[in-house]
Amino acid sequence: MDYDLTRLGSREFEHLTQALALKVFGPGVGVFGDGPDGGREATYSGRVRWAPDDHTADWNGYVVIQAKFRSRPLGTSPDTRWLRATVEAELKRWADPESARRSKGRLPRYLLFTTNVVLSGAQAGGVDTMDELIRGYAPTLGLKGWGTWHHDTICRLLDGHADVRKAFSGLITPGDVLALLADVLQGQAADLGEVLTSHAIKEMLAEQWVRLGQAGHADNEKLALGRIAVDLPALRPQPEKLEIVDAARYVLERGDSVLRPSLIGQRRPHVVLVGGPGQGKTTLGQLIAQAYRVALLGETDRLGPESGSLRTTLRANLADINLPVPNSRRWPVRVELSAYGDEVAGGSDVSLLRWIADRVSARATDRVTAGQLRGWLAGWPWLLVLDGLDEVASPHAREHLMRHVTDFLVDATRVDADLLIVATTRPQGYTGEFTDTLYEHLTLAPLLPPGAIAYATRLAEARHGDDTDLRDRVLRRVQRAADEPLTARLMRTPLQVTIMSLLLEQRSRVPQDRSRLFDAYYDTIYAREAAKRGPLARLLDDYRADVHALHERVGLELQVLAEADGEADAAMPAERLRAVAVARLHAEGHPEPDIHRLADNLVRAATHRLVLLIPKGEDSIGFEVRSLQEFMAARAIVAGTDDVMIERLRLLAPSAHWRNTWLLAAGRTFILREHLRAQVVSLLREIEAAELLALVIGAGAELAADMLDDDLAARTPQYRMLLTHHALELLQHPPNDALRQRALTLAGIATDPRMRVLVIRALEQAAAGNTVQRATASVVLHTLAQGSDILAAQARRLRATIKLDPIQTLSLGTLTGAQRPAGETAPQSQPQPQPQRQPQPQPQPQPQRGSIKRLGWFLRPHLNDDEFGPAATQALQNLLTELDRTKVSTVAGRPRTAILPVRTAGTDPEVLERALSDPTVADAVALAISRIRPQDWAATAAVRHILAAWQQRRPVGASLLELTPEPDI
């Protein structure tokens, strides 16, 4: 078979060259990684037998192998000229007596060039041209033998080495992949390929719409993903900068590498997309999966008219946003973790591989087994999108789900799978379940005005392409909103831009805070539905308050339900919706004969669409977008008396699951109940004052930072000042993985000169403070210094004043990116001219890593279990045993000092609950944390991380319902 080598790209062609060299030459081949290689992709020393019966052609000595890849071959003659010029340049460098390659390196006795271009075997053709060229340099270099593996040679080698062919199959299979699977793969994988590519076609058709496709559109028309999707900016931590990348392009480029463990070693292959509500994580995952479906089905002619047309359209859509069709034809599969988590938590201990097999079987004529999928995983490259870890709120469900994900990775490693995982989650409540050793984390950045306008433009084109006057009017209003600072803050996510664009169809201006923006969106959708003719419109018009109350109660109950095991993808049964409607109508005093008729009408409407309520599954109701559910739950929380509302906010404040709802409710309070603003802000202090553990983990300060991130007090300077003071107390706590994001929060508020003074003063105090404060300040300043504003200049100045000992420097490298995860090497740069050498101070001796200590070891000296009864003592010991599952690195010395990285292990939430629900145990643990030596801040940070995760995941929904009872019938 003639393979398509051009899809490999330069890097993967080098890897293919190395893999074939290992097969031909044997295990003695030495391979070189990325970066300067001195003209070598691989080397070999020893005897090479080219023909079993003819030893006269043997090589015996030092062999250098070099790959030459041409990304866009133009034809045999121009490609030969290109290769000749490229190889001659290499030969001249070896021949130059002044070159470092000759003076410092080892000259080869044998040279082998590999290339993806086709060389003619005719007399005086490309093969003879290369032979003549190298022969001319042979006397100067002392070469005894040479050769060129060109396109045809490599194809024949791939024919003969099935394992190499399989390893690179997703990149080298030419033309119609579906027709050639049996030639490329073997056994079950080849047989299953037809079924799974058919599955890809069906998924491409099913996922061509965005999840917001029906919300707020006049005729419930759908929005095509390809027409409105954009690539989104993301922050990628680097040693000396916080790089901004285009998230989808970054993932697709990573996927164009072969990611088999045998080829990449310990390099992190997978990606986690971390983003807040409405930032487009799910849509981005859909877009990436669709791009791989286009690649997989790219050249087959065995598609029906609809799927063939969609493939063509998607290819054009990708080009419109400058996204390449991937070179690697990965089989894409997307898993909604809420649905999988529900099944796992519901008692079905089903593996992830089996769950995927069941989903595929549901769309196939034949049943697909987990064993068959494992063969496909071994034989063909995969993209696996794990969408929405944050939607699995139950600690028990999340623990079981992540165990199954880990088991899947073990299976993938055992079959040397070419696997790319893209996971998505909100930052709230995320505690690093996707470990840094396997996953690179990208944090989606807020849209800047140009990005927001670009997205709004695609949205307007998709919705109003046939009404240019309306399209242009909306875009002019969007541009005006982007130019105003207060409304530009509400254009930082795709969801916000979508809502704003809808509002600007009807109004010339939009609200200036997030809560009002959602209110205006709901009111606009409601008005559209009520303006239509028919019984539903009359129902909406006559019973407006009741429909509002129904939305709020459904939002609240679904948000509570989503906390429970097996209910991550929460929906309300129609009979429960009817009961809610009946209770509401009774409470409002409607006549008994009308109540059941009206309730039936409301439920019947909701099973089709009732403003924001839509059918979900069989006889169930829910919200299409989670943020809308949270918004309605927030409205329910704010209803009622002042005292009850404040108690609800107090109850929900620690919960990560309720964080977006809490922020929406607090924002609504700031607008509708101005007299409660001071109470809402002081509530954060009260939380920390009520529980010593909350103070130690900084629960109030974290929430203050989230409120600042949400711009909740943007137009109330006194409360913004109070929140800034509180958030800056995070500088007193040890550094953690979230600190870079908090640094960006500080950068955002420091655009206000008054806030900037507070921020700089707090950073100055931390930079001159104790060991913990200096470590935290160092990480924050490292991030801030990468900007170009006044705060960045001050950060660079302060960063230079911080004195860190070698132990701290070693430990902080993990957080700043200067120290990479094990096995991952930093990118190589080209050698730079060296300035004249100056006398340098003697370097301090580097700390020596010591033994690994269990986390409980750092707490036990500060705990006295004689103070507790038998039950509390046992609960405390069980807690320490759980903490001991986390292992802490140390450096040698007396005493040993904790350093990063810390290998955090999962803990049993029930063990933590039994111990920490006892106030005496919780206070004792909090005091013990505060007494850990400042030098051991890495251990302190690890304990705070575990206990904060426990507190953030405690279910509070049942208590909330007690504070928000349903009206009595």
Question: pLDDT class for 291, splitting at 50, 70, 90?
Answer: very high
Question: pLDDT class for 824, splitting at 50, 70, 90?
Answer: very low
Question: pLDDT class for 118, splitting at 50, 70, 90?
Answer: very high
Task: Count other Cβ atoms within 10 Å, centred on residue 161.
Answer: 16
The residue ranking higher by pLDDT, 239 or 655, is 655
- Integer angstrom CA distances of residue 11 from 33, 254, 835: 10, 11, 32
- Cα–Cα dist 713/706, whole Å: 11
Q: Please tell me the predicted confidence (pLDDT) of residue 846.
A: 55
Does position 719 have pLDDT exceeding 70, yes or no?
yes
8 A C-beta contact, residue 3 and residue 158: yes
Mean pLDDT, residues 394-401 taken together: 89
- On the CB side of 92, how many CA atoms lie within 13 Å of its CA? 6
- Cα–Cα dist 548/522, whole Å: 10
Tokens of 297: 């089905």
Does position 181 have pLDDT exceeding 70, yes or no?
no
Question: Any bridge partners for residue 44, and if so which?
Answer: 63
Question: pLDDT class for 340, splitting at 50, 70, 90?
Answer: very high
Query: By mean pLDDT, which of 28-37, 444-453, 706-715 is the weakest?
Result: 28-37
Mean pLDDT, residues 490-511 taken together: 90
What is the per-residue pLDDT across 828-874, written as a single tens digit (0 to 9) for each? 333 333 334 444 444 445 556 678 889 999 999 999 877 788 999 99
Tokens of 151: 């396109």
Q: Please tell me the predicted confidence (pLDDT) of residue 834.
A: 37
- Determine how β-strand 59-68 pairs with β-strand 110-115: parallel
Q: Please tell me the predicted confidence (pLDDT) of residue 581.
A: 94
Query: By mean pLDDT, which of 126-140, 806-820, 858-872 is the weakest?
Result: 806-820
Coil vs helix vs strand at 749: helix
The H-assigned helical ranges of 145-222 are 151-160, 162-167, 169-172, 177-184, 187-206
8 A C-beta contact, residue 270 and residue 422: yes
Q: Please tell me the predicted confidence (pLDDT) of residue 818.
A: 54
- Integer angstrom CA distances of residue 649 from 652, 682, 687: 5, 12, 11
Sign of the Cα torsion 245, 246, 248, 252 reads negative
Q: Please tell me the predicted confidence (pLDDT) of residue 841.
A: 46
Share of the chain above pLDDT 70, in %: 91
Q: Please tell me the predicted confidence (pLDDT) of residue 764.
A: 96
Does position 216 have pLDDT exceeding 60, yes or no?
no
Tokens of 534: 């028919």
Task: Count other Cβ atoms within 10 Å, centred on residue 690.
Answer: 12
Mean pLDDT, residues 559-587 taken together: 88
- On the CB side of 225, how many CA atoms lie within 13 Å of its CA? 25
8 A C-beta contact, residue 218 and residue 210: no
- Cα–Cα dist 703/723, whole Å: 9
What string of DSSP letters covers 890-951?
EESSSS-EEEEEEE-----HHHHHHHHTSHHHHHHHHHHHHTS-GGGHHHHHHHHHHHHHHH
Q: Please tell me the predicted confidence (pLDDT) of residue 815.
A: 76
Does position 730 have pLDDT exceeding 90, yes or no?
yes
Question: pLDDT class for 115, splitting at 50, 70, 90?
Answer: very high
The residue ranking higher by pLDDT, 220 or 849, is 849
8 A C-beta contact, residue 682 and residue 723: no
Tokens of 960: 């909330």
Mean pLDDT, residues 786-801 taken together: 91
Question: pLDDT class for 509, splitting at 50, 70, 90?
Answer: confident
Mean pLDDT, residues 65-85 taken together: 93
Does position 215 have pLDDT exceeding 60, yes or no?
no
Q: Which of 592, 619, 596, 594 is nearest to 608 (CA)?
A: 619
Question: pLDDT class for 531, splitting at 50, 70, 90?
Answer: confident
- Integer angstrom CA distances of residue 477 from 445, 469, 503, 603: 24, 12, 10, 37
What is the per-residue pLDDT across 645-683, written as a single tens digit (0 to 9) for each? 999 999 999 999 999 999 999 999 999 999 999 999 999
Share of the chain above pLDDT 90, in %: 60
Q: Please tell me the predicted confidence (pLDDT) of residue 968.
A: 61
Q: Please tell me the predicted confidence (pLDDT) of residue 848.
A: 62
Tokens of 457: 């433009």
Mean pLDDT, residues 908-924 taken together: 93
8 A C-beta contact, residue 711 and residue 517: no
- Determine how β-strand 270-274 pairs with β-strand 110-115: unpaired
Distance spanning both ends of the chain, measured CA to CA: 76
- Cα–Cα dist 204/679, whole Å: 51
Question: Any bridge partners for residue 966, and if so which?
Answer: none
- Cα–Cα dist 225/211, whole Å: 9
- Integer angstrom CA distances of residue 874 from 213, 907, 944, 949: 54, 17, 21, 22
Mean pLDDT, residues 307-321 taken together: 94
What is the per-residue pLDDT across 886-905, written as a single tens digit (0 to 9) for each? 999 888 766 678 787 788 77
Q: Please tell me the predicted confidence (pLDDT) of residue 823.
A: 40
Q: Please tell me the predicted confidence (pLDDT) of residue 961.
A: 95
- Cα–Cα dist 729/725, whole Å: 7
Question: pLDDT class for 53, splitting at 50, 70, 90?
Answer: low
What is the per-residue pLDDT across 364-391, written as a single tens digit (0 to 9) for each? 888 889 988 998 898 889 999 999 999 9
Q: Which element (helix H / strand E) includes 758? A: helix 753-767
Q: Please tell me the predicted confidence (pLDDT) of residue 16.
A: 92
Q: Which of 104, 100, 88 is nearest to 140 (CA)?
A: 88
Mean pLDDT, residues 691-699 taken together: 94
Average pLDDT over the chain reads 87
Residue type, 842: Q
Task: Count helices and strands (H / E) in the chain.
Answer: 45, 18
Q: Please tell me the predicted confidence (pLDDT) of residue 422.
A: 98
- 238: which residues sit within 8 A by CB, 6+ positions away? 817
Q: Please tell me the predicted confidence (pLDDT) of residue 191.
A: 65
The residue ranking higher by pLDDT, 837 or 77, is 77
